[in-house]
Amino acid sequence: MKRYSLFFTVFFILAFTFVNVFAQQDTSDTRQILKKAIKKKFIENLGLDKESADKFFRLYNETRKDLNELTKKQKEIIEYINTNYDSPDISAKIDEMIENENKIFETRKNFIISLREFLTPQQIAKSIVMQQKMRKLLSDKPKE
């Protein structure tokens, strides 16, 4: 009887491990498929050639990375402010929040200015609208 218990325990541990490995791989594959589909849609809607598409996505990915870091920092600052109203350094935190908001604005502005070097104003406008729609689509949670 002990052999069967040991066998089933080992079996379930291995099965659970394989399920987790495949689930993580599936998420990564899904993310890659999503990135490719988004890239294809941008190329089609903006009418980009290969060189312009490469420039656009290089700038887009760099900017997105910077904005994600700044947004994360902003959330941390706001959380600190939210939980420390009476802190003696609250004024400094408010100043830090404003400075971070300015960095977010400047990062977005510089991205658009960089796009002007190789995209038309119409392509830039389309890209702004597409980015907004994409963020809204990806951030909307299904309603239960």
Q: Quick: pLDDT tens for 92-128.
A: 999 999 999 999 999 999 999 999 999 999 999 999 9
30 and 61 part of one domain: no
Main-chain dihedrals φ then ψ at residue 135, nearest 5 degrees:
-60, -40
Q: How far is residue 144's CA from residue 130's CA, in Å, rounded to a whole number?
A: 27
Q: Nearest CA to 137 among 61, 37, 13?
A: 37
59 and 121 part of one domain: yes
Q: What confidence score (pLDDT) does residue 136 get?
A: 84
- Residues in CB range of 73: below 8 A, 6 or more apart: 100
Q: Could you list the residue range(s) of the whole structural domain that residue 4 is in? A: 1-46
Q: What confidence score (pLDDT) does residue 3 get?
A: 54
Q: What confidence score (pLDDT) does residue 26 get?
A: 58
How many domains, the chain? Answer: 2
Q: What confidence score (pLDDT) does residue 135 get?
A: 81
Weakly modelled stretches of the chain, pLDDT under 70: 1-27, 140-144
Report DSSP letters for 59-86, one per residue.
Answer: HHHHHHHHHHHHHHHHHHHHHHHHH-TT
- Residues in CB range of 6: below 8 A, 6 or more apart: none
63 and 26 part of one domain: no
101 and 128 part of one domain: yes
Q: What confidence score (pLDDT) does residue 114 get?
A: 97
Q: What confidence score (pLDDT) does residue 7 get?
A: 47
Structure tokens at 99: 């400075």
42 and 52 part of one domain: no
116 and 133 part of one domain: yes
pTM for the predicted model, two decimal places: 0.71
